[in-house]
Structure 1
Amino acid sequence: MTRTITARAPGKINVSFRVGPPRPDGYHAVASLYLAVSLFEDVAATARADAAITVSLHPGSSAVADPEDFPLGEDNLVIRAARLLARHTGHVAGVDLEITKRVPIAGGMGGGSADAAAALVACNALWGTGLNREELSRLGSRLGADVPFALSGGAAVGLGVGDELSPLLLRTRTDWVLVPASYGLSTPAVYSRLDTLRDGLDVPTPTEVEPAVVQALVAGDHGALAGLLANDLTPAAMELAPELAAVLRMGEQAGALSALVSGSGPTVALLASGPEHAREIANQLLDEAGLAAHTVHGPVHGASII
C-alpha cells in the first residue's frame, strides 16, 4: 500500500516590520514581530519506488486562480526542500509532493515558506530521517528567511534577516481580516524600491522590535496594538501597487481597528476586536466593495503532521 503523509504549515502576518539598510550580502537586517495565522498550506508526501521527486498542485488550491501559471519546476520551494533534506541525510528514495495552496501567492504572508516547512516535516516523517525541529529549522533557513518561523509557528520576534527567532507566549488570540489581491508583488522588487526611496538617508539597523508592540500583542490589548502596527515596506509596496491605498482606506471604513500591508504585500491585514467583529468587517467589504476576504486568527501552531 502506498504511504502518504500530509503536513500543514501556517501563513504569517508581520505585526511590526522594521527594515534596515542593505547588508553586504544583499539582504536587509530586519526586526519583525511574526504572528502565525489560521490560513494554511498543506503538502502531501507520497512514497515512490524510485528516487524521483515530483510536485503537483491539488485541485482545491483556493489561492491559485490559474493552475497553468503556478510553477512546478525544480525552483519550486517544495522540491528544493525535499532535495535539501535528502542530500543532508543521505536519503535516496523519491517522493511525490502535492501542494494545497490557500495563502495568497506573492502576497507577503510567507506562503512559499509555509510550503517548504510543510515539505520538510512531511518528508522527514515519510522517510524516517529523524531530524528534530531545531535541525529542520537550520535546514529551512537555507531555503528562505521565513521558513524557520513557518516551522515554529505561534508568535516570535525575528532579528537578523528574520530567521533569528525569540518565541513569545501569547495570553490571548487576535482576530484579523485578510484582503488578498488579484496580483502578487515580488519581494526583491519591493525591497529594491524601498532602497530607492531611502537613497541618501541614514537608515539605522534595527536591533529590536518596539517593546510596546510586543507587550500589546502578548497582552491581547487590541486598542494599544491598533496604534502600533507598522511596516517599513508599506511605502515601497504602495508605489508598486497604488491601489493598496484604497484597500487600506476601505478596511478602516469597514470598521477595522487598524490596517497594514502584510510583509512585502499586497495582502492587507485588518485588525478586529474579536471573531464576530472580523466577520462583520469581511461581510461589509464584500457587500460594499466586492472584496473577498478571509477571517483568521493567531497564534496557531507551526508545521505539523495532520
Structure 2
Amino acid sequence: MSQALAADGVRVRAPGKLNLFFQVGGVQPDGYHDVASAYQAVSLYEDVWATPSDEFTVAVTGTVDVSGVPADDRNLAVRAARLVAQRIDHAGGVHLDIVKHVPVAGGMGGGSADAAAALVACDALWGAELGTAELLKLASRLGADVPFALLGGTAIGTGRGDQLSPALAKGRFDWVVVPSDAGLSTPEVYAHLDELRDRPDIAGGPRVPAVDPGVLQALRAGDPVALAEHARNDLQIAALSLRPDLRAVLELGEASGALTGMVSGSGPTLAFLAADPESALEVQITLSAAGYEALHVHGPVTGARVLP
C-alpha cells in the first residue's frame, strides 16, 4: 500500500491462536524454556486501526475484559509501532485503536496478535513496504507468538517458539473455546511446571522438545479424530494445578461430544476439538447451558492482513 493511499488510516485484523501440541523442555540457564509447538490460527480476531499522529498513543476496547491491558508504552502493539518507526527512521508517531475479541491473558496470543497487526498497519500507513521477511525479524523481537500471528495458518514452532516452519493442514478444524474471567500469568505457569517437575512422581522435560509426528500426519490428512489422539500440552498440568476449577469444565466439554479438551497455551482458556461444525455446535450449546461462555471458532485462518 502506498503512503498516499494510507494517509487517512489503516485497519488490520490478526487472529488468535491455539496450541494443538505443546511440549516444554527443561528450564535453561537464562530462565527460559525451549519448546516445540503446533500452532493454528483461529477465527477469533483482534482489530487494529492505525492513524497518523505526532506521538505514539493507544486506546483499547473490546468484547472482552480489557481492564488489565496497558494503554501506554508497555502495550506490545505500541512497542511494535516504535520498532517499525525506528527501522525506517520515521519522524512522527501513530495512534492505535485496538478492538480486542481474544481473551486477555488467556493463552490465545491476543497481545501478540495486536503486535503483529500494528507491524502490518504501520508498515502500510507509512508506505514502508518492508516485506514479510523484515517484518518477521521485527516480530521475533517482540515475543515468541508474534511471528506466528503475522503469518497465520498452521505452523510448527521450535526454539522459544518463534522459529517457525509452515505445516500443511488440510480442510477445516472446528473448536469450541471457553474463556475465563481471570487470566493466568505465563511466567507463573512455567515456574509452576518447573516446580512440579522437581517431584519424583512427575516426569521432567525432554532434552530436545519435538512435535509428535502423529500431529503432523493428522493435520495433513485433515483428520480431527487423529489429531485429538495426539494433541497435548505440557503446561496443562501446571495450569490445572493453579486453577483446579477448570477440570470440571474439561470433563463437561468432553462428555458433551468433544473429541478432546485441553488448556490453550498457558491457559486458562480451554479449547475443545470437535469432529465437525455440527458437533461443535452441540458442545457449545451444552457448555453455554451450564453457564460458561463458549465460542465456536475454526482454523486455520490467515495471519495479520490489511482490511478495506
Shorter-chain-normalised TM-score: which range? over 0.9
- Choose the corresponding residue for 1:210, options 209, 212, 222: 212
> Shift of residue 208 of structure 1?
2.3
**Equivalent position to 1:238, from 235, 240, 246:** 240
Measured on the aligned residues, the alpha-carbon RMSD in Å equals: 1.4
SS in structure 1 of the partner of residue 273 of structure 2 = strand
Alignment of 1:1-306 (within 5 A): 3-48=8-53, 50=54, 52-58=55-61, 61-64=62-65, 67-199=66-198, 202-287=204-289, 289-306=290-307
The answer as to whether partners of 1:5 and 1:45 remain within 8 angstroms in 2 is yes
SS at match of 1:227: helix
How far residue 173 of structure 1 moved from its aligned partner, in angstroms, is 0.9
Instruction: Return the letter of the residue paired with 1:3.
Output: D
Deviation digits for residues 111-145 of structure 1 (CA, Å, limit 9, x no counterpart): 11000000000010001112111111110111100
What is the CA–CA distance in structure 2 between the aligned matches of 1:114 and 1:239, rounded to whole Å? 28
Using the TM superposition, name which of 86-95 and 38-47 deviates more. 86-95
Preserved contact between residue 30 and residue 205 of structure 1 (Cα < 8 Å): no
Q: Secondary structure at the match of 1:10?
A: strand
- Take 2:121 and 2:67, find their aligned partners in 1: how far apart are those partners? 25
1:18 touches 1:206 (CA, 8 Å); kept in 2? no
* Contact 2:7–2:125, Cα closer than 8 Å, also in 1: no
Q: 1:2 to 1:139 in 2, by over 3 A?
A: closer
CA positional deviation for 1:207: 4.1
**How far apart, CA to CA, are the structure 1 residues paired with 2:254 and 2:113?**
29
String of CA shifts for 1:173-215, please: whole Å, max 9, x gaps.
1000000001100000000000111126653233421111111
Alignment length (residue pairs): 299
Structure 2: distance between partners of 1:6 and 1:253: 41
SS of the equivalent of 2:230 reads: coil
Residues in 2 aligned to 1:82 and 1:54: alpha-carbon distance in whole angstroms: 10
Distance 1:172 1:124 in 2: 31
- Misfit runs of 4+, over 4 Å: none
One-letter amino acid of the counterpart of residue 211, structure 1 = P
Query: Distance between the aligned counterparts of 1:89 and 1:260, measured in 2?
Result: 42
Q: Partners of 1:72 and 1:248 in 2: how far apart?
A: 34
Q: What is the TM-score of this pair, normalised by structure 2?
A: 0.94
What SS does the aligned partner of 2:180 have? Answer: coil
Task: Kindly provide the amino acid, as one letter, of the partner of residue 35 in structure 2.
Answer: V
> Amino acid of the residue matched to residue 57 of structure 2?
T
The amino acid across from 1:295 in the alignment is H
Looking at structure 2, the residues matched to 47 and 257 of structure 1 have their Cα atoms a distance apart, in angstroms, of: 47
Report the residue type matching 2:163 in the other structure.
E
What stretches of structure 1 of length at least 5 have no aligned partner? Answer: none
Percent of aligned positions that are identical? 56
Report the TM-score when normalising by structure 1: 0.95
Q: Deviations over 1:137-171 (max 9, x none)?
A: 11011110000000010001110000111101221
Per mean C-alpha deviation after superposition, the further-off stretch among 29-38 and 89-98 is: 89-98
Q: CA deviation at 1:224?
A: 1.2
Write the deviation string for residues 214-273 of structure 1: whole angstroms up to 9, x where unpaired: 111221112211111100000100111111111111111121111000000000000011
